[in-house]
Amino acid sequence: MSRVYSVDVKVYATAYVKADSEAEALEIARMLRMDAWELPNGSISEDVEVTGEQFSDDMPEISLSPAVTCHGPDDDAVADCVYDSDDDDGGEA
């Protein structure tokens, strides 16, 4: 028997933003709120890349560090069964 559960967790990352001032950097970074991406190494959207590149002029205009911190689930989180190998339909819950 094998089951897989989906649990929402908060993940924190660091954004590196090229800008002329702190205010401009914050304005650009705030545009990332509630965006959702898959996180491969490389481009995750037209404007944002995931890169471990060292700081330089060659960095993308907006990038996310590949190092993230997982905050974990909220106290009121739920776990939804998304796969059950004992189901008759081949496993999908």
For residue 58, give Cα distances in angstroms to 18, 27, 48, 83.
10, 21, 14, 43
Kindly indicate the confidence band of residue 23, based on its pLDDT and cuts at 50, 70 and 90: very high
With 60 as the cut, is the pLDDT of residue 41 above it? no
Q: What does each C-alpha distance from 84 to 56, 73, 77, 78 come to in angstroms?
A: 48, 22, 20, 17
Q: Is pLDDT of 81 > 90?
A: yes
pLDDT of residue 37: 65
Q: Is residue 92 part of a domain?
A: no
Does residue 63 form part of some domain? yes
Per the CB < 8 A criterion, the answer to whether 65 and 13 are in contact is yes
Higher pLDDT, 30 or 41: 30
Place of tokens 């819950």: 93
Q: Quick one: pLDDT band at residue 92, thresholds 50, 70, 90?
A: low
Count: domains in the chain: 1
Asked if residue 73 has pLDDT above 80, the reply is yes
- Position 47 in a domain: yes
2 in a structural domain? no
